[in-house]
Amino acid sequence: MSRLIFILKGYPRLSETFIAQEIRALEQRGFAIDIVSLRFPTDKQVHPVHREIVAAARYLPEYLYQEPWRVLRSWFKAGFRRGYWRAFSQWIRDLLRDPTPNRARRFGQACVMVAELPKDATRLHAHFLHTPASATYYAHLITGMRWSCSAHAKDIWTSPDWDKREKLATLDWLVTCTRDGYEHLREIAAPGDKDKINLVYHGLDFERFPEPPLHRRDLKGPLRILSVGRAVPKKGFADLLQALALLPKEVDWRFHHIGGGPLLDNLKSLAETLQIADCVTWQGSAPQETVLEAYREADIFVLASCIAEDGDRDGLPNVLMEAQSQKLAVVATDLPGIAELVVSGETGLLVPPGAPENLSGALLRLMRDTVLRLRLAEAGYERVRTEFALERGIDDLERRFRADR
């Protein structure tokens, strides 16, 4: 049996449900998969789908000095492969253009990957076009094995164009989950590589997010506003807290955040400064079943994404699809990827990113207009179920992977 090798930056990760559900769905369609991770997991919990995945996970040395003998053995073995010097030369050119520790260790990780590949491996597939694809690219050059990639958001917008262009020249095909990313990659690709780039929405597994119960929670008490996401700059949580602080004093609300991230302490301090800390709950990271319950308890879902200083931004956030699958009205920012999912005024409300006043106004509008809130919730539910089902994307990937057989 042929075996697909999926190369990930870290595994398992609570924030990358879309990758886990893709792997499991492909396994259910008969594919044998191994997972190679550049990093060990940092989340203390996992989603149910992670426990269902059959694929074995193997971890490359995150820092080469931590496993010197493994790296040296692998480097020695890789040196006998036909493409070794081509890969080494490419890595030196890349290192001169990008003289960073991250770039330096990708070649060592690629050598370990190559030395430990199972004999029945037929394709390398990287999730994310930056660091996972770099290690995969060098492994491809060493072995001559076919490779492909799924590109998402940060990897597209924070990688230099030369790096993306050269990877596109050697891979067989690439899928990306937003039209914005698709158009950007086609714009920077060489003419002969443009047709390798494909728009494939990753979608949502509705078996894990079934239709919510007919009766929602008791509508008495404060309106419950929910947001799910890592506390990182591109999620715009500082803007969201400022928007909440602008709500009129007479409005009764509570805000619930689910997610970890490096900015959590700063956000908690900001909530104190804005004098809204008593209305805010910080739950931290949580598994899927807990998040599903939170969707069903909330009245409004909000995501205040923005473009970070380094260019990082959201693609098509799974949490927005998840919220809409539970008939939850959403307010989000008008970034290109998000606007592919949420039609403002029809299936949710969109406001400009980085504009707390506009965000506060949209929240207040939904809080005061129950009819509008319910209408947007129903319309969002119908659209996400119709246009963003997991099966569509898996059908496309199955066709591509089966072409190898």
**What is residue 220's predicted lDDT score, i.e. its pLDDT?**
72
Work out the angle at residue 312's Cα, subtended by the Cα atoms of residues 178 and 24, and round it to the nearest 5 degrees: 50
Q: What is the mean pLDDT of residues 185-198?
A: 97
- Are 3-203+389-402 and 223-387 in the same CATH fold? yes
Residue 359: pLDDT over 60: yes
Where residue 91 falls (left for φ over 0; alpha for ψ -120 to 50; beta otherwise) is: alpha
Q: What is the mean pLDDT of residues 332-347?
A: 96
DSSP 1: -
C-alpha 58/C-alpha 125 separation (Å) is: 15
Q: Write out the DSSP string of 58-122.
A: EE--SSGGGSHHHHHHHHHHHTTSTTHHHHHHHHHHHHHHS-SHHHHHHHHHHHHHHHT--TTEE
C-alpha 114/C-alpha 183 separation (Å) is: 33
* CATH number of 3-203+389-402, picked from 3.40.50.2000, 3.40.50.11540, 3.40.50.2020, 3.40.50.300: 3.40.50.2000
C-beta atoms surrounding 196 within 10 Å:
19
What percent of the chain shows pLDDT beyond 90? 95
Model confidence over 67-85: pLDDT tens digits? Answer: 999 999 999 999 999 999 9
**What is residue 219's predicted lDDT score, i.e. its pLDDT?**
63
Burial class (CB in 10 A: 0-12, 13-18, 19+), 114: buried
* 70-90 as b/e: b if 16+ CB within 10 A: bbeebbeebeebebbeebbeb
Residue 53: pLDDT over 70: yes
Domain ranges of the chain: 3-203+389-402, 223-387
| 325, 256 contact by CB (below 8 A) | no
Model confidence over 8-25: pLDDT tens digits? Answer: 999 999 989 999 999 999
Residue 148: pLDDT over 90: yes
The two counts, helices (H) then strands (E), for the chain are 17, 13
Q: Where does the pLDDT of residue 217 fall: very low under 50, low under 70, confident under 90, or very high at 90 and above?
A: low
Burial class (CB in 10 A: 0-12, 13-18, 19+), 339: middle
DSSP 10: E
Where residue 333 falls (left for φ over 0; alpha for ψ -120 to 50; beta otherwise) is: beta
C-beta atoms surrounding 340 within 10 Å:
18
Please give the CATH topology (third level) of the domain spanning 223-387.
Answer: Rossmann fold (3.40.50)
| 142, 113 contact by CB (below 8 A) | no
Among candidates 336, 343, 333, 351, which has minimal Cα distance to 383?
343
